[in-house]
Amino acid sequence: GAVVSQHPSRVICKSGTSVKIECRSLDFQATTMFWYRQFPKQSLMLMATSNEGSKATYEQGVEKDKFLINHASLTLSTLTVTSAHPEDSSFYICSVPPYRDYGYTFGSGTRLTVV
Amino acid sequence: AQTVTQSQPEMSVQEAETVTLSCTYDTSENNYYLFWYKQPPSRQMILVIRQEAYKQQNATENRFSVNFQKAAKSFSLKISDSQLGDTAMYFCAFMRLQGAQKLVFGQGTRLTINP
């Protein structure tokens, strides 16, 4: 399958600041990437679909202005949590779509803590 | 909209035993993929097995096999000769072939393999 690199793995930030999370597809040109959010002991919830060269598609209930997504190249998508608040603390995971005969490949995730 | 249901929040078995995790889904689509993903304590999502809906033969991967019942919309995972390293959260997921390749996840089953 594809190789996906996600950084940082952990980040702690103060309330009101912004945090950027990067997702890189290392060996696969991804025109689409996906961003998920996972609360403790819960499932993954799709936040948005990142589209290379165009606007992201957000799921219902996800604030577009809070979770800014940029997909400027075929190998990089970024998620910026703007004006972060403690309730934004969560585990964020990116993925690329199925590649050849494999399934989705996921990044290793980012644990965001807002204090 | 598609939904995926995992009715077993937690399961626990002894090492070397066989365990079956249940998953049902709801869709009006005829062509789709189903997946089982494993999320160990590291939280890295790992593909366990996948099934194409058009294939009648159940998928197998070493100790992992599925029982795919398309008419009943059921997709259970059987783990044979369970090992301590199988301890993880297991998520059943659905992906339609038409349109955006979004993954829809079930709630997850926490599986513990006891020595």
Q: How far is CA A104 from CA B19, B30, B101, in A?
A: 25, 20, 10
What confidence tier does A99 reach under pLDDT thresholds 50, 70, 90? low
- DSSP string of B25-47, one letter each residue: EE-S-SSEEEEEEEE-TT---EE
Q: What share of chain A is helix, strand, coil (3-state, %, to 5)?
A: 5, 50, 45
Higher-pLDDT residue of B99 and B111 is B111
In this predicted model, which residue has the larger pLDDT, A5 or A28?
A: A5
Please check the confidence at residue B98 and state whether its pLDDT lies above 80: no
Select from B3, B61, B94, B103 the residue whose CB has the most chain A CBs within 10 Å, as the one to mutate to test that interface: B103
Residues A39-93 have pLDDT tens digits of: 988 999 999 999 988 899 999 999 999 999 999 888 999 999 999 999 999 999 9
Q: What is the DSSP letter of B98?
A: S
Residue A81: what pLDDT? Answer: 97
- Residues B79, B83, B84, B85, CA torsion sign: negative
Arithmetic mean of pLDDT, B17-26:
98
Report the SS3 class of residue B86: helix
Question: Is the pLDDT reported for residue A101 higher than 80?
Answer: no
Q: Which among A44, A97, A108 has CB closest to B44?
A: A108
Which residues, including other chains, have CB under 8 Å from residue B106's CB and lie 6 or more apart?
A: A43, B4, B5, B6, B23, B25, B91, B92, B93
Residue A110: closest C-alpha in chain B: B43
CB nearest to A103's CB, from B43, B47, B104: B47
Q: Do A44 and B105 touch (CB under 8 A)?
A: yes
Output DSSP code: residue A102.
S
B101/B41: higher pLDDT: B41
Q: CA–CA separation, A6 vs A77, rounded Å?
A: 10
Q: What pLDDT score does A1 carry?
A: 64
Give the nearest partner residue to A43 out of B43, B102, B105, using CB atoms.
Answer: B105
The per-residue pLDDT for range B63-79, each reduced to its tens digit, is: 999 999 999 999 999 99
